[in-house]
Amino acid sequence: MNVIRQLAKDSAIYGGADLISKIISFFTFPFIAKALSPESFGFLELILTSSALLGVIANFGLNNAVQRFYWDTDVTENRRKEIVSSGLVTLFFTVTSVLIITFIGVMSTKVFWKIEVIPFSNFGLTAALLLMGGTQWTQFILDVIRLQFSPWKFLIISMTSRVLSALAGLYMVVSLALGIDGLLGAQAIVVLLVLPMALNFIRKDFSIGKVSKKWSKELIEFGYPFIFSSLAYWIFSSQDRWMLASITTVEEVGIYSVSFRFASVILFVSAAFGQAWSPVAIKIRTDNPEKYRKIYGDVLILLVFSIAALAGGLALFSGEIIHFIMGNDYLKSALPMAILGFAIVFQASQQITGIGISLEKKTKLFAHLSWITAGVNFGFNWFLIPIFGALGAAIATALSYLFLSLGYFFFTQRYHPIHISYNRLMVLISLMGIVLVLSFLMQNASIEWKSIVLKLGILASFVGFGWFLLPIKNFKNV
C-alpha cells in the first residue's frame, strides 16, 4: 500500500478511536462531577494527574524502545518476538515495582503523619495504582498492535477499554453512589479484564520463553532517557499557566486556557498522525534503504503543509469561532488561539525532525533538549507575559516548540541526516507567516459574511499554493 494512503487510513482509525473516547468522556464528565463533591472531584483530578506521572516513570520509555527496534533492518521475525516479549515482561516488573513502592510510601505517610482526611480508602488507593498499571500494560500492547499494522485490532482494544471504563465509572458514581473508590475500582477492573484479550491479539509476537536479558537491558538503555524528557515536557507544557497566574491575573489564565482548548483540536490531528507514523517510519528505512532519507524529508513537508492548513483555518476564523461559541467575554482568546494553532505545526514537525536522534540511539539528547527548552520557555514567558499577557504566553509556547524542533533537526542532520527540499520548506513557512499576519489584521468580533468569504479565499489560496510544493510524485512507488 502507498505510504501516504496507509498513513491517512491509520491516522483516521487511531484518531477516530481517540475522538470517540473524548466525546464519551466529555458527556460523562458533568454527571461524575455533579455526583462528587468539589473536594472529592479535586482529589480525583490530583490522583489521575499523579498516576499519569507515575506511569511515565514506570514505563521507562520501553514503548519507545520497542518501536525503535521492531522494524529495524537486521531484525528477523524471531527477533521481534524476543523484543516484544522482553519489553512486556520488563514493563511488568518496572510497573509492579513502582506500584509496590508507591503503595508503601503512601501508607507509611498515613501511618506516621496521621493523614486520614482524604475522600478515598486504601481500596481506592489500590484501585488507582492497579488502574495505572493496567493502563501501562494495555498501552504497550496497543503500541505493538500498531507495529503489526493492525489498526482495527487497535480500535477494538482501545474502544473496549476506554468506553467500558467510562461507563462503568459513571454507573458506580451516579447510580450506586460509591464515590471515588467505586469509580477507580470499576475502571481498574475493566482495564485488567481487557488485558487477556489484548494479549491474545499479539500472541504471534509474545512468548515467555523468548524473554532475553540482553534485549531487556538494551530496551532500558534506549528508553530510560524518555523519563526525563517527558518530565521536562510536562513542566514546559504547564508552566505558562502558572506564570500567567503569578505575573498577571487568573483572568489571563482563563483567556489562555480557552485558546489552548480550541488549538488542541489540531494537536489531536498531530497525535493521530504520530500514532500512525511511528511504526511506519522504521519500516520505510528497512524497505527503502537507498531513499528512506528522502522519504523522511518529503513526509516532513507534507506534514507541515497539512497541519499548517488546519492552523491557518483556525487562525483566520479565530475571532468568529470565539464570538459564536464563547461569546464576547472571551474575545481576547482569539489572537492567542491563532498563535497556538501555528505552534502546533512546530510541535508536529518534531515527529520527523527528531528521527535521526532515535535511529542513532542517542536518546539522551531528547532529555537534554527538552530540559533546555523548558528553561528557554521560562525565559520567553518571563519576558513576554508582562507585556502581552495571554498572547505573550502563546508566543512563548510557539517559539519554544520551534526551538525544540530546530534542536532535534540540528542533531538529526549531524548524526543521521535526512534529505529535505529546503526551498519548498522555506516557501511553505513563508506562506504560513503571511496567513498568520492576515489573521491578525482581519480579526472580527462578529459574523460578517463578506469577511468570511474573503478569509475562505485566503485559505484556499494557501492550500492551492502549498499543494504545488508537495512532492506527491515521490510517494507513488513507496
Taking only the tens place, the pLDDT of each residue in 46-68 is 677 778 888 888 999 999 899 88
In one letter, which amino acid is 135?
Answer: T
Q: What is the largest CA-CA distance in the chain?
A: 69
Instruction: Give me the half-sphere count of Cα atoms (radius 13 Å) on the Cβ side of residue 251.
Output: 5
pLDDT in tens, 287-318: 888 888 999 999 999 999 999 999 999 999 98
Cβ neighbour number for residue 272 with a 10 Å cutoff:
21
Cβ neighbour number for residue 386 with a 10 Å cutoff:
12
CA–CA separation, 320 and 325 (whole Å): 8
Contacts of residue 27, defined as CB under 8 A and 6 or more positions apart, other chains included, come to none
CA–CA separation, 285 and 280 (whole Å): 9
pLDDT in tens, 411-425: 999 999 999 989 999
pLDDT in tens, 366-419: 889 999 999 999 999 999 999 999 899 999 999 999 999 999 999 999 999 999
Q: Let me know: does 334 contact 318? Beta carbons within 8 Å.
A: yes
For 11, 154, 357, 379, the CA distances from 143, given in Å and listed in that order, are 14, 8, 20, 36
Residue 27 CA from chain centroid, whole number = 22
For 85, 444, 450, the CA distances from 82, given in Å and listed in that order, are 5, 58, 62
- Reference 125, options 185, 39, 59; nearest CA is 185
What are the residue ranges of helices labelled H in 288-363?
292-316, 318-325, 334-353, 355-359
Q: Which pLDDT value is given to residue 106? A: 79
CA–CA separation, 151 and 101 (whole Å): 35
Does residue 461 surpass a pLDDT of 60? yes
Q: Which pLDDT value is given to residue 117? A: 45
Radius of gyration of the chain (CA): 23
Does residue 188 surpass a pLDDT of 90? yes
Q: Let me know: does 88 contact 80? Beta carbons within 8 Å.
A: no
Q: Let me know: does 17 contact 154? Beta carbons within 8 Å.
A: yes
Residue 186's Cβ-count burial label (10 Å; 0-12, 13-18, 19+) is buried
Reported pTM: 0.80
% of the chain with per-residue pLDDT over 70 = 93
CA–CA separation, 279 and 13 (whole Å): 15
**Cell numbers of 88, please?**
512486556
- Reference 118, options 132, 130, 129, 107; nearest CA is 107
pLDDT in tens, 316-356: 998 888 888 877 777 888 899 999 999 999 999 999 999 99
Q: Which pLDDT value is given to residue 328? A: 75
Q: Which pLDDT value is given to residue 365? A: 92
For 103, 297, 328, 411, the CA distances from 415, given in Å and listed in that order, are 43, 15, 51, 6
